[in-house]
Structure 1
Amino acid sequence: MKIVTKQVSGTIMLHLEDGSKRFLVHEIGNEREFARTDTKAENTVLASFLNFLKSTLHIDVNDIRLVELTNTQTQGNNLPLYVFEMVSSEMTELPKGFAWETPESVRKILGTIEIEGVPLFE
């Protein structure tokens, strides 16, 4: 019997003081994707992603606000996509493999996945 590990993905839309926006992405070589983590049986899907943001990316989850939840299809598997927003005077430093990317980069990522309901980035 094959055990399937469920995952959850997400991004943070960072509103900078100069009016520009950046999005949290995971860098794999030259490729970009939304950050993702395995869900934990003892946590809800949302709690699993929030714990990932806290423990892996050192994001203060008290500084973010959930603005969108949609479902994506990746390789035939459902993958929830959470979109948070955060206001900051500067980009928070992220660990290796993660970066703050431009909206254009995020549009490319969105073009590679099947989305059920499109998130609105205002």
Structure 2
Amino acid sequence: MTKENIVAGTIMITNKAEETFFLVAVEGESNTLPTVEMSGEGKSPLGSIMESLLKHVNVDSESLRLLDLTNIRGNGRNIPLFVFDALEKPADVDTVLTDRSHFAWKKSSDITEILTDWELGGVPIYH
């Protein structure tokens, strides 16, 4: 396994109609989990991914709560995965995106397609 200082994360948000969506990164015709390289500035994995996600989603950081922490494995990589839940419930989830060309909201059925290339583990691995 190769060592990489990458952390992944997503935000789960529910709109006023009670539909739930997950934040994904758009890469050409496909979607993937948002990732960020850990900075050498001493930030924790949690701080690194939270800061990155908040650059692309206009929600109050106080409205995010950590829902799940796991590890994803695949393609010779082990990456911690943080899943946040946003307490805010916008009428239209696209209104909280700051960069619609690189990020989108996908329903849970779509997110399972993204996870098919990864094996989920219960314990995060940090490098």
Structure 1 length normalisation: TM-score?
Answer: 0.84
Indicate the residue corresponding to 1:53 in structure 2.
Answer: 53
SS at match of 1:46: helix
| C-alpha distance in 2 between matches for 1:30 and 1:65 | 30
SS at match of 2:97: coil
SS at match of 1:88: coil
By how many angstroms is 1:70 displaced? 0.3
SS at match of 2:98: coil
By how many angstroms is 1:29 displaced? 1.1
* Corresponding letter in the other structure for 1:88: K
Aligned residues: 115
By how many angstroms is 1:5 displaced? 4.4
Is 1:29–2:34 an aligned residue pair?
Answer: no
By how many angstroms is 1:54 displaced? 2.6
By how many angstroms is 1:50 displaced? 1.2
Give the share of equivalent positions with the same residue, in percent: 27
Indicate the residue corresponding to 2:120 in structure 1.
Answer: 115
Cα 1:94–1:101, aligned 2, differ >3 Å: closer, same or farther?
A: farther
Structure 2 segments unaligned to the other structure (5+ residues): 123-127
TM-align CA RMSD: 1.8
The runs of at least 4 consecutive aligned structure 1 residues that moved more than 6 Å come to: none
* Corresponding letter in the other structure for 2:26: E
Structure 2 length normalisation: TM-score?
Answer: 0.81
Cα 1:99–1:17, aligned 2, differ >3 Å: closer, same or farther?
A: same
Structure 1 segments unaligned to the other structure (5+ residues): 118-122
* Corresponding letter in the other structure for 1:70: T
